[in-house]
Structure formats: C-alpha cells, structure tokens
Amino acid sequence: MKIAALYDIHGNLPALNALLDELEDVRPDLIVIGGDIIYGPMPSQTLERLFQLETQVQFIRGNCDREVVMAFDGVPLRPDMSDKVREKTEWVASQLTRTHRDFLSQLPLQFTQSIEGLGDVLFCHAAPYSDEAIFTPNTDTARLLPLFEGVQQSIVVCGHTHIMFERSIGNIRIINAGSVGMAYADQPGAYWLLLSPDGCEFRRTAYDVEAAAVEILRTTDPQAKEFAEENVVRVPTVAEMIVVIDRMVENIV
C-alpha cells in the first residue's frame, strides 16, 4: 500500500492541483487529507476539488476546519483570537455551503492505517488527542510526553506547524508532513509525505508560484495579497519559523 499524506492545504488550490497532477504518476492507494483544508484564499474550490478525486480519500479535522464550522454556525470564537485570524475565519465560513459545513463538522480527529513494513500509522492534525498542540524538533521531550501518552502505533504522522521534520518519543516515530499550501520551508512548493513498504519519504512538488499568486489575487480573500506574497511566491524559512514556534511553545503553561 502507498499512502500520500497531504496536510495543511489552506485553500491553496494551485498548489493542490500541481500535487494532484504528480499523484497521477505516483498512484497512491489512499490519500490522507490531514486537516486545515480550507482556511485560505480558495476554500470552497479546494474542497470541491478534493470531492472529485477517484482515489480513496480519508479526511481528518484540523483546528482551522473546526473554527470555520463554529463561525458558520455563529458560535463565539476564541476570545484570544486575533482580529486578523477572526476576519479570515469568518470570511472562509461565508464562502461555504451548508453541505461543506456539514462535511467538515463530522471529520474525525485521527485515523489509523496499517502499512506493510511500517506497522500501524496514526494520522492526526497536530497531536493524537489535540488539533492545536504545537511542537518543533527542538521541543523538550518532557513537554511532548503527555501529548503522546497511551499511543500504541509505531508511527504518528502530523502537520499543523507547516514544517517538515522527524523525531522520536520513546518507541514512537513522529513525522511532520509539512504543508501543501502554506509551507514553512527553504523554497516555495507543495510539501507532502509518501508512505509505503519502502519507508516514509518527504516530498516537494514545485508549481508556478507567480501564476498561483495572480489567481489568488483574483479572489475576494481580504488577506489575498499577503498570502500570495508571503506564503506562495516567497515562504518563511524553516529556521525563522522554528524560532517563532519555539517561543510560542515556551509561553504555553
């Protein structure tokens, strides 16, 4: 079995389309969509594109998917949410249909699949029991132990922080699949993970970022210009984002 793990698409349809073109040659048996699917400039179009796939697909929930459903329902969002994030969350919610909302609302927090040669693999968005826990390759093991307590699978695939990396906690191998649509990396592209009996392979799909930026700027996303310039044409580097995220981790009590 071959599984393509596509995480954090963030409504970047051009990146997704380029990756799906590559998957026509890879021919995975299963595509896992690892959450934070729609929070970006082309939310409904991205979801509809995924609905069209003929390959078997397993979706899991990301924190942004959950919060967009809350906004759709008129449920108060987190009081500590910034005005910028609130604006984007509410805009994304306004782009969805009831069918989209109902689909997102029933997504599971995690999914497990056995792969010959790898064993049981647990797929989650951020951590096995949380869709918003954050950690990096530098995070103290003591902070991570509660997040993975009780996990029986030999491999956990996650995303959320948009940085590809691998580390271990005891006997658990943790692999971050990076981000398809909003990568923190040393060069632009759609980042994803291929799992097979041969192992776990970090992958990058190049796409025309200039053309993608033009397409994004045509949307009504209130933050389209920032997304196009800072998350598509250019992307934050791994080194600078690890510093930012590590500071966030240290501020968590």
Write the pLDDT tens digit of every residue in 223-240.
999 999 999 999 999 999
| Cβ atoms 194, 180 nearer than 8 A | no
Question: What percent of the chain has pLDDT above 70?
Answer: 100
pLDDT at 251: 81
Mean pLDDT on 193-221: 98
Contact 167, 137 (CB under 8 A): yes
> Region 50-62: what's the mean pLDDT?
97
Residue 17 has pLDDT above 80, yes or no: yes
Assess whether pLDDT exceeds 70 at residue 253.
no
In the β-sheet with 199-205, what is the strand arrangement from edge to edge?
Answer: 56-59, 30-33, 3-6, 190-196, 199-205
Reported as a single tens digit per residue, the pLDDT across 68-112 is: 999 999 999 989 899 999 999 999 999 999 999 999 999 999 999
Tell me: pLDDT of 166 over 80. Answer: yes
- pLDDT of 228 reads 98
pTM: 0.96
The Cα 235–Cα 167 span in angstroms is 23
Look at residue 250 in the predicted model and tell me its pLDDT: 85
Token pair in block for residue 134: 């954050």
Query: Which stretches within 35-159 are classed as H helix?
Result: 43-51, 63-73, 83-94, 98-105, 141-148
In this model, does residue 151 exceed pLDDT 80?
yes
C-alpha 249, offset from chain centre: 19
Give the mean pLDDT of the chain.
Answer: 96
Q: For residue 184, what pLDDT is reported?
A: 97
Residue 252 pLDDT greater than 80, yes or no: no
